[in-house]
Amino acid sequence: MAASCLRVLIMARRISKPDVLLIAALLLLGAAGLIFVNVWKGQEGSGVRITVDGAVYGVYDLSKEQTIPINVRGAVTNVLQTADGKAKMIQAECPDKLCVRQNAAYRKGETIVCLPNKVAVEITGGQEGTVDAVSQ
Amino acid sequence: MKKKRTAYLGMFLALALVCSYIESLLPFHFGIPGIKLGLANIVILLLLYYAGAKEAAFVSILRILLCGFLFGNLFSILYSLAGGILSFLCMALLKKTGIFHMVSISAAGGMAHNLGQIFVAAAVVENLNLFFYLPLLLSVGVITGILIGIAAQEILLRLPVDKN
């Protein structure tokens, strides 16, 4: 079935063997990467680290329910909410709001980024979540 | 002759801008930034075949700049330029080999686009953890690239053959 479909497409000047090989190679590369990433950092994180302009802004516990206003150069640009081991950006002062549309992050290494404000929110694992008192 | 070419390229640029605008209206969000259809790439692909690499590059860069000024900001321009240039180089090189069709050229272009964007994003926020999303964005880039490639291919096969 698939082979005859392919033959029709080749006849119709739509696709050729090199195309099939290239697409298969690209898809395999993507799939291998997905498997690698999922095996490598599949576990749920326990803390969240906020960085602004590459510098650490604060570290918070993910299990606690809290709303964190992020202050960049004198104004609150983003608001992050943590609850049930997940972090979600609920507010952003930028036109595209890509970070607000992003799903809640909860796995170690997952990152929410607000590019215009250079804010990065990263899920961390282990003990980092316990030092949140410092930044509160 | 030269005037006609300018008019043609202007029309293609307008078409690419309209595609970008339509795309910004489509609710195509999957909860991961960077995933988009890339409708404007249909126009760039067609130009690559119909006019040539230089013209396609020219229109692609102008579209990104205009689109950034109209609907985006400095960061969206930076972001799009990295993706757009990398994707264009990839597609132009693959086309030059002469053994690939639009479908696979566009698939590779989609992948290269997302690769370029993630590098800029990681550099801007100085966070290497963004590469966590790389495999997902690359896979999605291939799939959206295939869709765009099919659309562009069908249009190309229906365009008149004469070149100016």
Q: What is the pLDDT of residues A37-76, one digit of tens each?
A: 777 766 788 889 999 988 899 999 888 889 999 988 888 8
Is residue A54 within 8 angstroms of chain B, CB to CB? yes
Q: Which residues of B lie inside 8 Å of A (Cβ-Cβ)? A: 29, 31-33, 72-73, 75-76, 79, 94, 99-101, 103-104, 107-108, 111, 121, 124-127, 129-130, 132-136, 138-139, 142, 146, 150, 153, 157
CA distances A19 to A66, B47, B105, B128, Å, are: 51, 20, 8, 33
pLDDT-flagged residues of chain B (< 70): 1, 28-34, 161-164
How many Å apart are CA B137 and CA B46, to the nearest integer? 24
Minimum distance, in Å, between the CA of residue B30 and any CA atom of chain A? 8
| Strand ranges for B22-163 from DSSP E | none
The predicted-structure confidence for B9-44, as pLDDT tens digits, reads as follows 999 999 999 999 898 887 766 666 667 888 999 999
Each residue's pLDDT tens digit, A6-38:
777 776 778 888 999 999 999 999 999 888 877
Which distant-in-sequence residues (6+ apart) come within 8 Å of B125 by Cβ?
A: A51, A54, A113, A115, A118, A119, A120
Residues A21, A6 contacting (CB under 8 angstroms): no
Does ipTM come in above 0.90? Answer: no
Interface touch B33/A113, C-beta < 8 Å: yes
- Left (φ > 0), alpha (ψ -120 to 50) or beta: where does A93 sit? beta
Torsion angle, alpha carbons of B52, B53, B59, B65, to 10: 180
In this prediction the pTM is: 0.76
Whether the per-residue pLDDT at A128 is higher than 50: the answer is no
CA distance B48 to B90: 12
Query: φ and ψ at B22, to 5 degrees?
Result: -60, -40
Least CB–CB distance from B100: residue in A18, A41, A119: A18
Interface test with A, best of B132, B133, B138 (most A CBs within 10 A): B132
